[in-house]
Copies of this chain bind each other. A is one copy, B any other.
Amino acid sequence: MASLFKQFRVHQVFGANTNVGKTILTTGLVRASAQKGKDVFYLKPVSTGPLTDADDYHITRYTKGFAKSVHAECLFRYDEPVSPHLAVKLKGNITGDSTPPSDDTVVSSIANRIREHAMNSPRYSHMYVETAGGVHSPALSGTSQADCYRPLFLPTILIGDSNLGGISSTISSYESLLLRGYTVDAVLLFHEEYYQNAEYLKPYFEERGIFVSTVERPPSILPDPSENFASTEKYYTSITASGDGLGRVVDHLDTCHEKRLQELESMPRRALDSIWWPFVQHGLVQGEKDVTVIDSAYSDFFSITNKNLTSESVSKDSILQPQFDGSASWWTQTFGHAHPALTHAAARASGRYGHVMFPQAVHLPALKLAERLVKDGPGKGWASRAFISDNGSTGMEVALKMALRAYTVRHGQDLSNDQKKSLGILGLKGSYHGDTIGAMDACEEGVYTCEWHDAKGYWLDPPTVGIKDAEVSIDIPASLASFSQSNTVKAKSLPWVYDVEDRLHTPLARAYGLYIDRALASVQQRGGPKLAALVLEPLLMGAGGMLFVDPLFQRVLIDTVRGRRSGKSSSWSGMPVIFDEVFVGLHRIGIESSGPILGVHPDISVNAKILTGGLLPLAVTLASQSIFEAFLGDSKGEALLHGHSYTAHPIGCEVANETLALVDKLAASEEWAAAKANWAEGEKNSIWSLWDPNFVNAVSKLPQVKEAMAMGSVLSIKVQDDSAGYVSHSAQELFRSLKLVSQEDGQLSTAPGGAPFSIHYRTLGDVAYFMTSLNTKATVIRSVEDKIWKTLANV
C-alpha cells in the first residue's frame, strides 16, 4: 500500500511510450536532485535489454560526477529488449530465480526498498522509480504495470511523447493513469520544433492542474565513445542547470510533496470543521486523532494517515499505513476497493450515456440488469419486474409501497381510511430496513428512530443461531420458550440447522407454529393493526445486531401467513412477503438469495449494497406479477408514483452488470470451492464461510466471547456484556487494539507491499463483526484471524 515519508520524496516515472526519453529524463531528474545537494535513489524495478543499454547502467555512467549522493539499483534484470513478461519467457532471470516473481513479490520488493532507504536516510532525500516501456507495458507476471504498481500508489511523473502521434499517446497514457487514480505531478517531454506536441500538451495538462515542462532533445549518439560521453555529459549539464529546466521540475516535485503532507495534516481539522458524519456522535469525537484520513484505497485496504507518529518517528516512519477494511466499508465491498473492472464499467457507461431519463425509456445497462435479476438472479422462478431506485432504504420504501397497495387493492373495501393509513407490518424484533422515515416505520421504535417514527406493525421474537464452545445451538427467546419447552436447542451441526426442509416436521417447527399462531391471534384480539405485509431480513438481521435467525422460524412464519395457497395460483396469499436482502443478498453470506435455503420465494425482494460491487449507490426492488398487477389501471394516479431523478442511472446499472458477472466467476472459483469444503459436513454444505471454521470454533470457546458465528464473508463475535444494546461500547473496547498497527517482527504483512497494518472494524453494541470482500485472499483472512485471536487472547 501507499507509503509517504516526510523526509523522503518518492516519484514513479511512467512513459507515454517506449523511446520517449524516459531514461534520459529520469537520469536528468536524478542529477538535478543531486545538484540540489540531495541524496538520490534511483530504482528500476525491472530492466530489459542488453546490459550496456540498460537504464541503470546508463544512469550509473551519467551520474558519476555525483557518485557519493546517487544510489542506483535494479531489482530484476533480463537481457532481451522486449516487454518484461516476454523477457521472462525468452531468457529467464539472469539475476536468479527461473520462475518469474509474482506481482505481490515485485510490489513488496519495491515497497521494502523505499522503506529501507527512507528509514536510513539522514536527511531529506529523493527517489525515482522508473518503470519499463509504456504505462500498460506488462510487468513480469504479465499484469500491466499501471495495475501491478497501483498498490504502491506513488505520485507520478509522466514522460510525454514528442514524436508524431505523441499527443495521442501522451493523453491516452494519462487517461490510463487517471483510471487507476494516480496523481500525476508533472508531465515532461522533449521540445520538438516540427510536431510541436508540447505546445498542444502544455495547455491541455495545465487546464487539468498538471505541471508541464519541456526539455531539449539529447544530441545524436556519436561513434566515438569518449566524444559521445562528453557530448552527453554536456547535455545533462545544460538540462539540469539550476533555476531552469529539470532543476525547476525538481523544485516543483518538492512543492507537490510538501503540499501533499500539509494537505494530509490539515484534513482532520478541516473535516471536524465542515463535515457532519452519519451515525457519529460528534460530542464524543475528541479531536483530530479520532479522524481517519483515507488517502486512497486498494483491494481490502485503506491507505490511512498514521496516527501513532511521535516527534521522533515522524521523520522516519511512513505517514501512510495500510488498514484492513474490516467492515467492507459498511457492507458494500465486493472485490475490494478500486477494482479496475468496475472503474471501466463506470467509465464506459458515463462515456456512452451520462445519465438518461428512465420513465418509459430503456437503455442497455438497465435492461440487462433487470433481466439478469428477474430471470437469472434472485428473482428467478417468481419475479416478473425490476423497479430501480437509489439505495437500500429507498428500495425498501418502494417494496412497502408495493405491498401496501397490493393489500389495499385486494382488501380495500373492508378497510376504513384510517385503517389504510395504519396498515401494519409483521416482522421480527431486531429488524432494520434503512434510514428513511418510512422504512424505519416498518420497525419497532428504538435508538435509530426519529421524532416522527410511528412503529406500524407487530414484531415477533426470533430464535437465533450461534456457536458457543464450538457447539451450534439455537437460542430460544423467553416468549417462545414455553412452546419449545427449552431456552436453548442444541443443533447437530450448522448444515443441519440450514436444512430447513428436513426440519419442517420437528417438534421445534410445531412450537414455532404455535407461538406464531398465538401471537397473531393476540394482535387481532387486542385490536392491533391490520397486518398487510410480512417483512423479513432472511437468515441474518444486520443492523439489529448481526442476529442469525433460525431459518426454520422464518420458513414457518412465511407458511403461516400465507396459509394454503390455492392450487396453481402464483398470486400472493395472506399478505405479501418482502425479503429485505439488501445486506444478505448476492453472496454476502455465501448464497445469492435466501429463497433456496428457506424453500420459499418472496413476493417482493430488495437488493442493494453488493449489487454495485461496493462502488456507488443503486437498489433494485423485484416484484411478482401479482404485485405488479395491483398497480395496473387506466389512470396515472393508480401507478407506482415513486421515482428518483437518477433512477436507473446507467453508471450504476453498468457497474451492477459487471459486478454480477464477476461474482458469477467467483462463485465458480477454486477459492470458494476450498472455503466451502472447509465447512461441508457430508453431503450438506448449503452454508459456508470464507472464515475458517476452526478459528470460529476456537473463538467461541473463549470466556469473554458469548457467541460467535460466520456465514459467507461475515464473522460475528458477541462479547460477554451485561449492558447490551446499540449504545453499549463493550465490543468496541475489547477489540480496540486492532485499530493500532501491530508490528510483525520483520515479517512482511499480507497487505500489498507488506507493511504492517491495522484493522478497521465496526461494532453494534456488544457485537463486533468483521467482513471481507467476496474475493479477499485466504492469506489475508488468515492474518486478520491471527490478529483477532491475539487481541482476544491478550485480554
A293 touches B452 (CB 8 A): no
Within 8 A of B (CB), among A127-155: 133-138, 142, 144, 153
A179 touches B353 (CB 8 A): no
Given A17-B168, A390-B391, A441-B452, verify A354-B370 contact (CB < 8 Å): no
SS of A interface (majority) = mixed
Given A200-B138, A294-B356, A329-B357, verify A82-B195 contact (CB < 8 Å): yes
CB distance from A652 to the nearest CB of B (A): 7
B276 touches A623 (CB 8 A): yes
* Copies assembled: 2
A452 touches B456 (CB 8 A): yes
A284 touches B195 (CB 8 A): no
A310 interface hit (Cβ, 8 Å)? no
CB distance from A711 to the nearest CB of B (A): 19
A632 interface hit (Cβ, 8 Å)? yes
B362 touches A339 (CB 8 A): no
A180 touches B351 (CB 8 A): yes
A437 interface hit (Cβ, 8 Å)? yes
A268 touches B362 (CB 8 A): yes
CB distance from A157 to the nearest CB of B (A): 16
A134 touches B165 (CB 8 A): yes
B294 touches A363 (CB 8 A): yes
A271 interface hit (Cβ, 8 Å)? yes
Given A297-B354, A421-B453, verify A276-B640 contact (CB < 8 Å): yes
Selected interface stretch from A68-76, A330-338, A490-498: A330-338
Interface centre among A360, A384, A634 (most CB of B within 10 A): A360
CB distance from A511 to the nearest CB of B (A): 34
From B144, B631, B632, A171 is in contact (CB under 8 Å) with B144
B639 touches A279 (CB 8 A): yes
Q: Pick the 7 closest A-B CB pairs, nearest first.
A: A278-B643, A437-B438, A134-B168, A181-B352, A181-B351, A18-B165, A337-B354
From B136, B172, B270, B302, A367 is in contact (CB under 8 Å) with B270
A347 touches B346 (CB 8 A): yes
A793 interface hit (Cβ, 8 Å)? no
A601 interface hit (Cβ, 8 Å)? no
A606 interface hit (Cβ, 8 Å)? no
Within 8 A of B (CB), among A410-448: 420-421, 423, 434-439, 441, 447-448
Given A165-B18, A332-B645, A359-B278, verify A135-B172 contact (CB < 8 Å): yes
Residue interface mask A631-649, B partner, CB < 8 A = 1: 1111111111111111101
Selected interface stretch from A99-107, A233-241, A398-406, A569-577: A398-406
Q: List 22 A-B contacts (CB under 8 A).
A: A18-B164, A83-B164, A134-B165, A144-B168, A169-B169, A178-B351, A179-B348, A274-B374, A281-B635, A283-B634, A294-B361, A325-B356, A327-B357, A337-B353, A339-B354, A350-B615, A400-B452, A405-B451, A435-B641, A448-B641, A452-B456, A616-B651
CB distance from A107 to the nearest CB of B (A): 17
A337 touches B357 (CB 8 A): no
B644 touches A392 (CB 8 A): yes
From B338, B353, B421, A352 is in contact (CB under 8 Å) with B338
A600 interface hit (Cβ, 8 Å)? no
Q: A344 to chain B: which residues have CB within 8 Å?
A: 175, 178
Residue interface mask A76-93, B partner, CB < 8 A = 1: 000001110110000000
A285 interface hit (Cβ, 8 Å)? yes
A628 interface hit (Cβ, 8 Å)? yes
Known: A181-B353, A297-B353. 8 other contacts (CB 8 A): A134-B165, A275-B362, A276-B386, A278-B389, A279-B643, A281-B636, A330-B643, A400-B452
Given A451-B405, A609-B645, verify A350-B354 contact (CB < 8 Å): no
